[in-house]
Amino acid sequence: MSLYAEFLPDAKEMCADFAVAGSANSGAITFACLISDPAVQTVLEAGGYMERTQYNVRLPAATASWSLPDGSTGASTAIISGGSVIPSLAQGKKIVAGGKNVRITTQTYKPGSAWVTLVVIDDNQ
C-alpha cells in the first residue's frame, strides 16, 4: 500500500476539521483548503520597495471530487489529474482562499504526496 493511500484520508480529515472555503475559475471549482497566517516581506518592485503579504494554501491532492463529513464540498473536481495539478491552480492564476482574493506565485506537488501546496500573494499587489 502506498503512503498516498495512507495519508490522503488524513489530509481530508484535517480539512474537515480546520479548512476554509476556496474556489478557482471564478467559483466554477470549489474546494476546502488550509491557509497559513500572513507573512509580510519586503520586495523590490519597479516603483521601489513594497511590502507583499504572502500565504501558504494547502489542498488535499485528491484525484476525484469528494465531500466533507457534513455533506459540504471537499472538492468539486479532481485537484490532481493525470499525475499533475489541474491547470486552474497553476502559477499566475487567481483563486479565493478563506475569503481572500489571491494570486498563485508558486505551486508545489510531489507525485504521490497527499498535499498540493500553493504560495499565494494578495491579488492587489
Q: Where are the domains of the chain?
A: 3-122
For residue 70, which amino acid is it?
D
pLDDT less than 50: residues of the chain: 1
CA distances from 34 to 13, 93, 114 (A): 12, 18, 13
- Rounded Cα distance, 56 and 34, in Å: 8
For the whole prediction, is pTM greater than 0.95?
A: no
Q: Kindly report, residue by residue over 3-22, the tens digit of the pLDDT.
A: 567 899 999 999 999 999 99
**Res 123: pLDDT:** 82
HSE at residue 14, side-chain half, CA atoms within 13 A, is: 14
